[in-house]
């Protein structure tokens, strides 16, 4: 995988406003926040997208995400937040190193704006699709 801006941040070659670090995870403030407290949480393991990440690195991220979210809420006074995790340029991923966004949502509307073009799941399609996914786990 090619080097990204985040591998340079992990290596200490580019500065960041760090909020947390352990053997497998680094968290720091987003340089262009959608709202106050917008934080990025990344694995030190280099993987472009979540589906390519090891179980171990994923577990390390999952272990700290709730604690980091609590800290962001307490430090900002926000009471709501979104976790965003983009995979692939089509899905709005700009930095090709796995990252989770913690984005506080405020009463003034600042934070993540969400489009949610919901459709209806047909029962036959749902059964076939669920079986297809389950069969690949």
Number of residues lying near ligand 5GP (CB under 6 A):
14
94 contributes a contact to ligand 5GP by CB under 6 A: yes
Minimum distance from residue 53 beta carbon to ligand 5GP (Å): 15
Known active-site residue 92: no
Question: What CA–CA distances, in Å, run from 79 to 27, 36, 109?
Answer: 20, 12, 13
Among 81, 37, 80, 45, which Cα is nearest to 61's? 45
Select 82 or 93, whichever has its Cβ closest to ligand 5GP: 93
83 contributes a contact to ligand 5GP by CB under 6 A: no
The set of long-range contacts for 9-16, using a CB threshold of 8 Å and a minimum separation of 24, is 10/42, 10/44
Select 30 or 73, whichever has its Cβ closest to ligand 5GP: 30
81 contributes a contact to ligand 5GP by CB under 6 A: no
Q: Give the DSSP per-residue string, 45-90.
A: S--SSGGGS-HHHHHHHHHHHHHHHHHHHHHH---EEEEE---SGG
Of residues 35 through 74, those in contact with ligand 5GP by CB under 6 A are: 40
What are the residue numbers of the active site? 99
Binding residues for ligand 5GP (CB under 6 A): 5, 14, 16, 28-32, 40, 86, 92-95
């Amino acid at each position: 995988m090619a080097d990204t801006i985040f591998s340079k941040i992990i290596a200490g070659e580019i500065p960041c406003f760090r909020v947390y670090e352990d053997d497998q995870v680094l968290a720091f403030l987003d340089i262009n926040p959608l709202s106050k407290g917008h934080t990025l949480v990344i694995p030190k393991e280099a993987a472009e997208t979540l589906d390519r990440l090891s179980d171990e690195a994923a577990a390390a991220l999952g272990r700290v995400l709730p604690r980091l979210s609590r800290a962001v809420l307490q430090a900002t006074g926000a009471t709501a937040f979104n976790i965003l995790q983009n995979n692939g340029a089509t899905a709005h991923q700009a930095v090709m190193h796995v990252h989770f966004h913690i984005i506080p949502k405020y009463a003034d509307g600042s934070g993540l704006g969400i489009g949610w073009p919901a459709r209806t799941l047909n029962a036959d399609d749902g059964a076939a699709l669920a079986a297809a996914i389950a069969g690949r786990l």
